[in-house]
């Protein structure tokens, strides 16, 4: 099947009645979902806040004119993704076009130090971030996580180091447009699940239970999971203990769990009839 480049139309192609019927004839159940390879981005502007920006930071460098981006070294920056947050600050009062890069770099470094692949709390978040010299913070779900990171909110903010009201001097946009519709992580592909119509592993007709297909149909990535629900093996004990697994999409076939045999016990409630 040649999938349409438009993800919505490609999703409809995969879920055509004829496709589902063909799968059923081979004892398979097919389903398709948007949300693979989810990403988000925050673009920090190099000038002060305007009506075209979605939000702004309150800079406190009093010597800076309102038309130049600025933030004080004692302002506390904050990045939040899917309810988890980190804070940071720039090393010195920064003005001009370098402030966007400084803010983005500090926040990205703080996030990855805690929640990235090698972070101190790496198992509690699905996301890692990167940045560039233009002040763009790129957010990506971890490899292999399927659509678990899709449609998640993210934001940045600041706590000023004093109560002095200053002219806003740093602005940013979420997503690729100024609209609020792209202020959450967006889909970049389709998760196609192919399941056996028979439960367990004895009659399983599927070799690889789930594939990820790009919107163009040009690439395929097999998603995996170590979760065994019946055997209660590798279960999630924290919010995201297995961030590199496509839990909820990839399901391994399991055999039946034998019941533990116990001796039967008989209780009589009629012995008083002999009295």
pLDDT band at 41; cut points 50, 70, 90: very high
- 3 state SS of 94: strand
Distances (CA, A) of 63 to 49, 137, 161, 200, 205: 17, 27, 16, 70, 70
* Sequence-separated (6 or more) residues with CB below 8 Å from residue 248: 146, 147, 148
Position 54 pLDDT exceeds 70: no
Average pLDDT of the segment spanning 147-173: 77
* Beta-strand relationship, 55-57 and 170-174: antiparallel
Higher-confidence residue of 152 and 181: namely: 152
* Beta-strand relationship, 189-196 and 94-95: unpaired
Cβ atoms of 145 and 244 within 8 Å: the answer is: yes
Enumerate the H helices of 54-172 as residue ranges.
98-115
Average pLDDT of the segment spanning 1-24: 87
In the prediction, which pLDDT does 64 show?
40
51: phi then psi, degrees, rounded to nearest 5: -70, -15
Average pLDDT of the segment spanning 194-202: 78
> Domain residues of the chain, as ranges?
1-37+187-256, 39-182
Lowest mean pLDDT among 7-21, 190-204, 215-229, 258-272: 258-272
Cβ atoms of 121 and 111 within 8 Å: the answer is: no
pTM score: 0.79
Average pLDDT of the segment spanning 137-151: 94
pLDDT band at 65; cut points 50, 70, 90: very low
Distances (CA, A) of 245 to 44, 135, 150, 195: 32, 31, 14, 17
Nearest to 65 by CA among 139, 143, 216, 168: 168
């Amino acid at each position: 099947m040649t999938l349409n480049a438009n993800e919505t139309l490609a999703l409809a192609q995969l879920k055509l009645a004829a496709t589902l019927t063909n799968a059923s004839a081979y004892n398979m159940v097919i389903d398709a979902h948007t949300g693979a390879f989810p990403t988000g981005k925050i673009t920090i502007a190099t000038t002060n806040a305007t009506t075209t920006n979605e939000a702004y930071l309150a800079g406190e460098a009093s010597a800076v004119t309102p038309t130049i981006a600025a933030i004080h070294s004692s302002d506390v920056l904050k990045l939040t993704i899917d309810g988890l947050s980190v804070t940071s600050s720039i090393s010195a009062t920064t003005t001009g076009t370098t402030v966007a890069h400084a803010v983005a770099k500090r926040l990205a470094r703080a996030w990855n130090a805690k929640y990235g692949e090698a972070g101190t709390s790496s198992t509690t978040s699905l996301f890692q971030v990167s940045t560039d010299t233009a002040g763009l913070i790129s957010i990506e779900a971890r490899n292999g996580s399927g659509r678990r990171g899709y449609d998640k909110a993210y934001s940045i903010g600041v706590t000023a180091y004093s109560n002095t009201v200053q002219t806003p001097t740093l602005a940013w946009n979420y997503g690729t447009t100024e609209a609020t519709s792209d202020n959450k992580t967006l889909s970049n592909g389709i998760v196609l699940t192919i399941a056996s119509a028979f439960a367990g592993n004895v009659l399983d007709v599927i070799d690889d239970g789930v594939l990820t297909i790009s919107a163009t149909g040009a690439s395929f990535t097999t998603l995996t999971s170590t979760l065994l629900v019946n055997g209660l093996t590798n279960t999630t004990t924290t919010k995201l203990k297995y961030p590199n697994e496509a839990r909820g999409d990839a399901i391994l076939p399991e055999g039946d769990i034998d019941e533990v045999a116990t001796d039967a016990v008989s209780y009589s409630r009629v012995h008083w009839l002999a009295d």
